Amino acid sequence: MLNKIEVDDSDTQLESSMAALAAAMSDPSRVKMLCALMDGRAWTATELSAVADIASSTASSHLNRLVNSHLITCLSQGRHRYYRLAGHEVGQLVEMMMGVSWKRIPPPKTRTPVQLRVARTCYDHLAGEVAVEIYESMRREGWINDDGTHLTEKGHENFQQMGVVLDPKTKRKPCCACLDWSERRSHLGGDAGAAFFTLCEHRGWLKRVQGFREVNITSSGKAAFRKWFALSGNPD
């Protein structure tokens, strides 16, 4: 009987925690803030209030709710305070919710802005048409296994030649297929996706658009993607 009570208490705590998390994400203004933070950078309260189109005092209340729910963290630097997603798990959750929510909208053609469809950030890795094409190329060429759960020996070799630095002690998934909400297919996530995106930025292959999730592919990036990946589409 004691074991049953312990299991029941544990189940109740889990259900309550899930309900609290869902409640924290249930407000449209808070959702707008979370979506803005999907660019992987830290934002000020003023910037987030502008994104959500609400007063600063109202934004403060929403931000406190998100912090207390462990969805975002607050960073202090001198007199300034910045907010960012609490981790890649939160980014993955928001991206998945976008995909599930998008399925409820029945337009014959996606209304996602063209710039975001081509290339954007998904917290700390690349998303959009180009990211999906790169993932499919990696899968076809045997860089990753079919379900995207790990890099193959060939994948490790190519990442090393490309200059991608993986974290051997990562506490997150080393590699995973992340559902792309606009393309309804997968792009590369996990530590491998983050490391690849870091390399692309370092090499100047990708340039972030300040204040947005949009990412521009540079001329050197287009050349690099043509060199390394057998893309069925056109990175131009």
pTM above 0.75, yes or no: no
In a domain, 234, yes or no: no
Q: Are residues 48 and 23 in the same domain?
A: yes
Q: What residues are paired with 176 via a beta bridge? A: 189
Residue 155 lies inside a defined structural domain of this protein: yes
**Closest to 36 in 3D by CA, of 9, 14, 63, 13:** 63
- Within a domain: 235: no
Residues 188 and 200 in one domain: yes
Q: Are residues 98 and 60 in the same domain?
A: no
pLDDT of residue 200: 96
pLDDT in tens, 126-151: 999 999 999 999 999 999 998 888 99
Q: Are residues 74 and 99 in the same domain?
A: no
Does residue 81 share a domain with residue 150?
no
Residue type, 135: Y
> Domain tally for the chain?
2
Q: How many CB atoms lie within 10 A of CB 5?
A: 9
Residue 68 pLDDT more than 60?
Answer: yes
Identify the CATH number of the domain in which residue 79 sits: 1.10.10.10
| Beta strands, E only, the chain | 43-44, 72-77, 80-85, 120-122, 125-127, 176-179, 186-189, 206-208, 215-217
Whether 236 maps to a domain, the answer reads no
95 vs 8 pLDDT, higher one: 95
Of 66, 86, 106, the position where a domain reaches its end is 86
Domain that residue 162 falls in: 89-228
